[in-house]
Structure 1
Amino acid sequence: MSSQIGAISSINALIGKAFQQPKGNFADSLNSRYTVSLLAVSAGLLLSSHFWGEPITCWTPAQFTKSWTDFVERYCYVHGTYFVPLEEQLSFDEEDRQKVPINYYQWVPYVLACQALSFYLPRFIWTMMSKSTGFDLTGAIKYVDRFWHQVRDNESSLEGRVKQFESRAAAYIWDGIRLARRKKGEQMSFHYMFYAVFQAGNAWIQWLWLNSLLQSSTYTFWGPGIVIDLFSGNDWQVTGHFPRITHCDFTRRRPASVQLDTVLCVLTLNIYYEKLMIFLWFWLLFVAIYSTANAVAWCLSLCITSRARSNITRFFFAHGKHGKQERFFKLLGKDGLFVMQQITTNVGDLPASYLTLAMQNVIEDWDEHDNNDDGNMIPKIK
């Protein structure tokens, strides 16, 4: 009992940890927040139903005692059942009649829990890689977000807000970028490209794993096939997908022989599995496609710096700053552009615009007075 409670507590902790992370772009939220929460909640509810409910009920002969009935149900739950339409006669060949096994039934909660962990894994790896660069991007995003809420409530003018950002947030970000550049060079953007590609690949792996879980002999990709069957009136009694009633074989020892018995079993949770699995099939497919598009977009953005620069330049235009910023972008570097993109994505355009103006002032001041110490660390950007 304590192990099951511990498992559910771990799932709750995973959900809480997922929502403590910066939201990132929509693909990040889709993978590490919404999908993790959806899978973890589903796994927790199904796990509790398996342990504290009656996931399987078997129809045993009248002469069976309660202990025999309990044994049969536990055996069939652990060993697995198989589907044969009720109107068909059972074959005497054991292998032939068990050609449609229902092996996934007891494993679904554990598979969903593993998938929840798998969807959180890329974000965890990215957090570790981010810290290894010498710049705590997650901490910086949280700091700017908290600082923006303070400035928004206490200062209303553009000049005042920029000055506030310049004295604290911009100086903090710029010092962190320079320190990371001294220690590791410019690695942050490369690490994020790896993370985005890994996240997309992981989403496809989880979708394929879910697709293979049901072992459908009728469809390669069973999601659309089952939906079409349902709309066509071909339910589980015909197709054998998520059957409510299955068969189970077990042997009983007699004094002089071993007797094979077959019982009918009701798989209650297949009523819910059918709806949940169809939804998850399409959900994970959507997550995989969107994550792939996001990975391609980020790779292009980080490789073609003019695109990233245009996203920052619009903040200067929005506040009437039409001068050239070539020197600013050269000093900011590829990782600096990436940090500004991440802050914009997580905190919003308005605070990011104030931070951009403040960063320009801080960097220009540093370039004028302090550049002699680490001028060799100026990155080269085409």
Structure 2
Amino acid sequence: MDRLILLLRDTSDNNIGSADSFSDRLNNKYTVSILVIFALLTTTRQYVSEPISCWCPNYFTKDQVDYVNKVCWTTSTYYLEDSVTEIPGEDEPIDKVSYYQWIPLVAVGQAFMFVMPKILWTIFSRKTGIPVDTITDAAMERQKKSEQAAADKTMEFMVKTLGKFLKELSWDKRYAKRLKCYSLRRKIYVTFYGNYLTCLYVLIKLLYILNVILQIVLLNFFLQTNYSMYGFETMSRMVKGEDWTTSHRFPRIAMCNFIIRAMGENMHRYSVQCAIPINLIHEIFYIFLWFWFVFILTLTSASCIFWCYSCFPKTHRLLYVREKLYADGQLRRRPDEETERHFKNFVLKYLKRDGCFIARLVAKNTNDVISADLLAGLWKDYVLKTMRYEAEKQLLLDNDTSSRVNSVPNKVGLFQRVMSEPERL
């Protein structure tokens, strides 16, 4: 329970948990705020002022009128068309409306459903050993810093943190490839390491989409109507010049039947007409909510398609990283064969999908310049380690002492050209 409270606090903090995109924040931040504000507004309206006012016989005392108002609000009312001239009898079926009282609680439940994907993303993204929001938050801090020294220090932290994560992925995958006797376990390791965050993020996007669709379906049952067509019906009435605020879903005027017991077996049955002014707020809100749901559903679906298109095809990953390194002055448009080989290994075997995904997420939360600086730092670190590894490997393979001595300067010389003269690569 304490862990859940901590996660809820993290997701509600504006300064942390920023490892998401604008469409995600529309779901887990702005929509949640709208629903909570509406729940507070309707709750205040229900318990501070009178949500219902019934027209009682003139011989009712003030206390009796208050009692009737409370009975009709807490039980059920029903709607009659203006064309109906007779009140239904005791045994006649009527369509009662009993959901007004539960609207604040339903709004809070809706808000929780919108924040759940964010909680799941926070929990499972940290299973990788690196909180993604650590990188994105550091990038946001880097963007705010005006002093170059402080900004460089923050960028160095980002490069080291992400580089450590990528190095661990490489070692885990090498270990997985040695698991010859456990083919299933080997396939799981090889498939998901380096792709876990990307696949998880797309899954969270799909959860946001499913959540909106599910909420529309649930509102159909809760409001006892075809809520999925609510917005279209409202627009149709507006085009026809009809009063779009008059609806049987949220009637301003409703009927209420109740019984007052007297001494003995005497039971007095009453039917009164009640005004429900709070329904004006309910109807306007649910019309707005329908259009809001359509908006975030469209935007989230487009965002999901964009991330799949950007992160899964390797050609798009190569193009993205190439443009960022070129913009930072670390790579030419047409590098030589050896540099191109190192570049492809850097993107496809070192960064993998997760590294490219984090770089794109940094750009979404800050700007392309910081993302380019991050990739440039990782590229320099990768080239340094690769050159050292190849030089040591050459020393072990070369039996000639003179060849061993000459091979190291050659490899180091290549590294120096990569680091000091990037414009020639």
Match of 2:50 among 46, 54, 63: 54
Which shifted more, 168-177 or 294-303? 294-303
For residues 48 and 127 of structure 1, the distance between their equivalents in structure 2, rounded to whole angstroms, comes to 33
Question: Retained in 1: the 8 A contact 2:209–2:297?
Answer: yes
Alignment pair present for 1:194 and 2:189: no
More divergent stretch after superposition (288-297 vs 25-34): 288-297
Q: Which residue number in structure 2 is paired with residue 8 of structure 1?
A: none
Return the letter of the residue paired with 2:229: F
Deviation at 1:154, TM superposition (A): 2.3
Counterpart of 1:366 (choices 352, 363, 385) is 385
TM-score of the superposed pair, with normalisation by structure 2: 0.75
Q: Which amino acid aligns with 1:142?
A: D
**Secondary structure at 1:31's aligned position in 2?**
helix
**Mapped partners of 1:13, 1:44: distance in 2:** 20
* Of 220-229 and 163-172, the range deviating more from structure 2: 163-172
Q: Deviations over 1:60-116 (max 9, x none)?
A: 2222233322222222112121111345223433465623x3323222222221111
Relative to structure 1, the CA distance from residue 53 to residue 215 in structure 2 (aligned partners, 3 Å threshold; closer, same or farther) is same
Structure 2 Cα separation of the partners of residues 91 and 372 of structure 1: 95
Counterparts of residues 82-121 of structure 1 (less than 5 Å): 82-94=78-90, 96=92, 98-99=94-95, 101-121=96-116
The percentage of counterpart residues that share the same residue type is 24
Match of 1:207 among 212, 216, 237: 216
CA distance in 1 between counterparts of 2:276 and 2:40 reads: 19
Partner of 1:126: 121
Distance 1:261 1:335, change over 3 A: same
Q: Take 2:244 and 2:114, find their aligned partners in 1: how far apart are those partners? A: 31
Contact 1:249 / 1:261 at 8 angstroms: preserved in 2? yes
Alpha-carbon distance in structure 2 between the residues aligned to 1:372 and 1:38: 60
Query: Is the 1:247–1:265 Cα contact (8 Å) retained in structure 2?
Result: yes
Counterpart among 135, 144, 147 of residue 139 in structure 2 = 144
| Aligned equivalent of 1:377 | none
Alignment of structure 1 residues 148-227 onto 2, 5 Å: 148-150=143-145, 152-154=146-148, 164=153, 167-179=156-168, 185-186=193-194, 187-216=196-225, 221-227=229-235
CA deviations on 1:135-154 (whole Å, 9 max, x unpaired) are: 2101221123213433x432
Give the letter aligned to residue 380 of structure 2. Answer: N
Q: SS of the counterpart of 1:24? A: coil
Match of 2:253 in 1: 245
Matches within 5 A, 1:6-45: 16-17=12-13, 20-22=16-18, 24-45=20-41
1:291 matches 2:300? yes
CA distance in 2, matches of 1:351, 1:291: 25
Give distance in 2, aligned partners of 1:167 and 1:225. 56
CA contact (8 A) 2:170 2:350 kept: no
Q: Aligned ranges for residues 65-80 of structure 1 at < 5 Å?
A: 65-80=61-76
Instruction: Structure 1: give runs of 5+ residues left out of the alignment.
Output: 1-11, 374-382
DSSP-derived class of the 1:63 partner: coil
With structure 1 as the length reference, what TM-score do the two structures score?
Answer: 0.82
Q: Which residue of 1 aligns with 2:178?
A: none
CA distance in structure 2 between the partners assigned to 1:131 and 1:343 by the alignment:
17
Q: Quote the residue 2:180 is aligned against.
A: none
What code does the residue aligned with 1:169 have? M
Q: Report whether the alignment pairs 1:327 with 2:339.
A: no
Structure 1 residue aligned with 2:409: none
Q: How far 1:28 moved relative to its partner?
A: 0.9
> Relative contact order, CA 8 A, sep 6+: which one is greater?
1
Q: Is the 8 A contact 2:245 2:280 kept in 1?
A: no
Q: Deviations over 1:240-282 (max 9, x none)?
A: 2421111111112233332321111111111222221111101
Residue aligning to 2:60 = 64
Gaps of 5+ in 2: 1-7, 173-188, 393-425
1:65–1:253 Cα change, 3 Å: same
Q: 1:269 maps to what in 2?
A: 278
Counterpart Cα distance in 1 of 2:11 and 2:160: 34
Distance (whole Å) between structure 1 residues aligned to residue 14 and residue 219 of structure 2 = 22
1:334-357: per-residue Cα shift (whole Å, max 9, x none)?
Answer: 221121121121121111111111
Cα distance in 2 for partners of 1:77, 1:61 equals 18
Shift in Å, 1:165 = 6.3
Distance 1:247 1:337 in 2: 62
| 1:206, distance to aligned residue in structure 2 (A) | 1.7
Which AA in structure 1 matches 2:139?
Answer: V
Aligned length: 354
Secondary structure of the 2:147 match is: helix
| Equivalent position SS for 1:168 | helix
Deviates more, 1:351-360 or 1:250-259: 250-259
The one-letter code matched in structure 2 to 1:366 is K
